[in-house]
Amino acid sequence: MNRRRYVFHVILGILILALPLIFSSTYARHILVSSGIFTLLCLGLNLTMGYTGQTPFGYPVFFGLGAYTTAIGFTYLGTNFWHGLIAAPVLAGIFGFLIGYPSLRLRGPYFAIVTLAFAEIVGLILNNWVSFTRGSMGIPGIPSPKIVIPGLIDFTFNQELKWYYLVAAICAFYLLVNRSLVRSYVGEAWLAIRENEDLAEAVGVHTFKWKMMAFVVGAMMGGMAGCVYAHYYNIVSPDLVGFYYITTTFAMVIIGGRGTLLGPVLGAILFTAVPEYLRAAKTMRLVLFGVIMLLGIIFMPQGLNGLITDIRGRLPRRK
Amino acid sequence: MALLGVENISKLFGGVAALHDVNFAVAQGEIVGLIGPNGAGKTTLFNVVTGFIKPSRGRILYEDRVISELAPYEVASLGIIRTYQKTSIFPALTVAQNIAIGHHRRGQPGFWSVLFRTRPHREERAETNGRIQEILKFLEMTWAADFLAQNLSYGDQRKLEIAIALSSQPKLLLLDEPAAGLNPEETTGLMRVIKRVQDQGITILLVEHHMQLVMGICEKIVVLNYGKKIAEGTPGQVQNNEEVIKVYLGEEVEDATSC
């Protein structure tokens, strides 16, 4: 890594640490945390959608599954956040595998449809199995995470500021995992599938296996994001697998930049912050939001990340 | 000993026989040409050999092993690599990345090694990069390493296809009309490349319409027409085969007035 990049990374790191101190209102910090949670979700989605080029329409179902795993675990078994942080991705991963196994073998829209149908089924169950999931009322009272070592530490994540650093740490973890995978022969296989599945297969890429891996890892990431969500908002409801999350996460990844490492992060931050700013526009808010999205898709086909690379490429190069 | 054996292969699409009882063998180190008019079944045969479609009857033998039931990536992992009739590359990736994907099957460190960037992963990366340079040099394309594949000229894209195939270190290389759309100069260049690939010990099966190329470099030629093999032999034998001449040049109309 050259010196300039190193300096850039250090500055970026300091900025990320200082962000909630600059925006110090509870409200601003809340927006930061919630864009962090969306970042987690988008980083998982990007593996399948951005790198392998498959479209898992129902992807947020893993978010919902993760959230409900920890919520139900807490309600019936008394588990805490840290149990959920393991259990949610495991369960989401298992379901990802079960859905991917039949549908990723087929080309065409089947995979998109099967994931969407699965999300629909899970939504129906969450809504209607009232005795177990409390239906549309959701499960409230999920406690904030604690770190307790008797006599030494008794720390509760009960403020936005503390949450910010927790979520930022998990984001960093996700990014490191994604970076390792993407910058390896695994990432090359994924891109090959997106670009030309037949040719990939013809030179010996086991396309099914790699699509499956991207999907399952992405599902696990979504599951873990769900667990974080549940303990931050203290409540889960069937909305988590609904259309709002589908459209939002897809818009975030597309506008941010599919198949790029940081694109989903940019998209998630933008799409959490901008609607908040647009609140001033009241009823016009969603309309404006739609217009911004359309313009984004037309003028930034590579997403924000592509736009930035583009601008950087046009700047005179300094040696 | 034959490297590849095509034995009694038939392929029916509905009632149409795309291939009908085709037999031939490819020996180690040979360049074999597969020719025939459009629709003769050449590409179908390629698809059968590489596992993309299953034959209706017959079997494919490779190193004395039946491979006609294997999936395409499994066939590829045995060292049978193909190119496509229509230019087939990874368009939005760089030339170097394209070639790296060809190398995919050669090095596969484990999941954890990739995640923690431990030695197997680093060694694989170094090896892949070395392989990319080697192939770029071999095809005189070093200048193109960082170009996006979609920005290359048509001729260079066709060369890149061969580069991708070569980087997976095939034992048997199947080229589907590699000269299609190339100008005479590029075609001559291609002939040289194919010869040099053969010199590396790679066996080649080639579908091509460009007769000068086929007759110039192939040691053996198989002629298909309407899914049937109508001739097989050296370029000289095939050129003088009556049936082949009939297919390529047509025959006299017997009596136009009889109908």
Within 13 A of B61's CA, how many CA atoms are on the CB side? Answer: 16
Instruction: Tell me the nearest-neighbour CA distance from B102 into chain A, angstroms.
Output: 6
> Residue A160: its pLDDT value, please?
81
Instruction: Tell me the nearest-neighbour CA distance from A210 into chain B, angstroms.
Output: 11
Looking at B135, B169, B203, the residue that finishes a domain is B169
The reply to whether A313 touches chain B by the CB within 8 Å rule is: no
**Residue B14 identity (one-letter amino acid):** G
Per-residue pLDDT reduced to its tens digit, A66-99: 999 999 998 889 888 899 899 999 999 999 999 9
Does residue B16 sit within a domain?
Answer: no
Q: Which chain B residues are within 8 Å of A199, Cβ to Cβ?
A: 84, 88-90, 164
Distance between CA atoms of residues A297 and A254, nearest Å: 8
Does residue B241 sit within a domain?
Answer: yes
> Residue B83: its pLDDT value, please?
92
Per-residue pLDDT reduced to its tens digit, B3-28: 999 898 999 988 888 898 999 999 99
Query: Domain check: are B93 and B163 in the same one?
Result: yes
How much is the ipTM here? 0.85
Query: How many CB pairs below 8 A link A and B?
Result: 89
Does residue B163 sit within a domain?
Answer: yes
In the structure, what pLDDT confidence band is assigned to residue B2 with cuts at 50, 70 and 90?
Answer: confident
Query: Domain check: are B135 and B181 in the same one?
Result: no
Q: What is the CA radius of gyration of chain B?
A: 20
Does residue B22 sit within a domain?
Answer: no
pLDDT above 90: percentage of residues in chain B: 39
Does residue B4 sit within a domain?
Answer: no
> Residue B110: its pLDDT value, please?
83
Query: Domain check: are B153 and B93 in the same one?
Result: yes
Instruction: Tell me the nearest-neighbour CA distance from A200 into chain B, angstroms.
Output: 8
In B36-181 the beta strands, taken as DSSP E runs, fall at 57-62, 65-66, 80-82, 172-176
Instruction: Tell me the nearest-neighbour CA distance from B234 into chain A, angstroms.
Output: 29
In the structure, what pLDDT confidence band is assigned to residue B252 with cuts at 50, 70 and 90?
Answer: low
The reply to whether A202 touches chain B by the CB within 8 Å rule is: yes
Which of B72, B92, B168 is the closest to A195 by Cβ?
B92
Looking at B169, B189, B218, the residue that finishes a domain is B169
Does residue B37 sit within a domain?
Answer: yes
Per-residue pLDDT reduced to its tens digit, B159-172: 999 999 999 889 99
In chain A the beta strands, taken as DSSP E runs, fall at 139-140, 146-149, 153-156, 235-236
Mean residue pLDDT across chain A: 87
The reply to whether A22 touches chain B by the CB within 8 Å rule is: no
Query: Domain check: are B69 and B108 in the same one?
Result: no
Closest CA to B210 of B178, B246, B173: B178
- Contact in structure between B5 and B180 (CB atoms under 8 Å): no
The one-character DSSP state at B68 is T
> Residue B254: its pLDDT value, please?
61
CATH code of B49's domain: 3.40.50.300
A95 phi and psi angles, rounded to 5 deg: -65, -40
Query: Domain check: are B247 and B209 in the same one?
Result: yes
> Residue A316: its pLDDT value, please?
66
> Residue B198: its pLDDT value, please?
92
Residues of B with CB under 8 A from a CB of A: 50, 52, 71-73, 76-77, 81-82, 84, 88-93, 97, 100-105, 107-109, 114-117, 121, 124-125, 128, 164-165, 168
pLDDT above 80 for A63: yes
Closest CA to B54 of B75, B23, B36, B37: B75
Query: Domain check: are B155 and B182 in the same one?
Result: no
The reply to whether A274 touches chain B by the CB within 8 Å rule is: no
The reply to whether A212 touches chain B by the CB within 8 Å rule is: no
Query: Domain check: are B72 and B179 in the same one?
Result: yes
Chain A CA closest to residue B169: A203
Which of A120-129, A297-306, B55-64, B182-191 has the least mean pLDDT? A297-306
The tokens describing A159, both together, are 């403020």
pLDDT above 70 for B253: no
> Residue A257: its pLDDT value, please?
85
> Residue B163: its pLDDT value, please?
92
Query: Domain check: are B191 and B230 in the same one?
Result: yes
- Contact in structure between A33 and A167 (CB atoms under 8 Å): yes
> Residue A144: its pLDDT value, please?
85
pLDDT above 70: percentage of residues in chain B: 96
Cα distance between the two ends of chain A: 15
Per-residue pLDDT reduced to its tens digit, A145-183: 888 888 788 788 888 888 899 999 999 999 999 999 999
Distance between CA atoms of residues A2 and A10, nearest Å: 13
- Contact in structure between A47 and A186 (CB atoms under 8 Å): no
Tell if the CB–CB gap between A196 and B100 is shorter than 8 Å.
no
User: Which residue range is the domain that position B239 belongs to?
Assistant: 27-53+65-79+172-259
Query: Domain check: are B165 and B102 in the same one?
Result: yes
* pTM reported for the whole predicted model: 0.88
Which of B81, B89, B100 is the closest to A196 by Cβ?
B89
Q: Tally helices (H) and strands (E) across chain B.
A: 10, 10
The reply to whether A177 touches chain B by the CB within 8 Å rule is: yes
- Contact in structure between A70 and A79 (CB atoms under 8 Å): yes
Query: Domain check: are B189 and B71 in the same one?
Result: yes
Cα dist. A240→A200, A218, A269, B75 in Å? 36, 17, 19, 43
Please indicate whether residue A107 or residue A43 has the higher confidence score (pLDDT): A43
The one-character DSSP state at B143 is G
Query: Domain check: are B141 and B36 in the same one?
Result: no
Chain A CA closest to residue B76: A204
Name residues whose C-beta falls within 8 Å of residue B219's C-beta, 6 or more positions apart in sequence. B30, B31, B32, B234
In the structure, what pLDDT confidence band is assigned to residue B1 with cuts at 50, 70 and 90?
Answer: low
Residues A134-140, mean pLDDT to the nearest whole number: 85
For each of the domains in chain A, give its residue range(s) and CATH number, in order of start: 3-314 (1.10.3470)
Please indicate whether residue B130 or residue B250 has the higher confidence score (pLDDT): B130
Closest CA to A19 of A172, A231, A168: A168
Instruction: Report the domain count for chain B.
Output: 2
> Residue B26: its pLDDT value, please?
92
Neighbours of A140 (CB within 10 A): 13
Looking at B149, B169, B189, the residue that finishes a domain is B169
Interface test with B, best of A51, A173, A199 (most B CBs within 10 A): A199
pLDDT above 70 for B259: no
Query: Domain check: are B231 and B109 in the same one?
Result: no
pLDDT above 70: percentage of residues in chain A: 97
Does residue B19 sit within a domain?
Answer: no
Does residue B212 sit within a domain?
Answer: yes
> Residue A319: its pLDDT value, please?
45
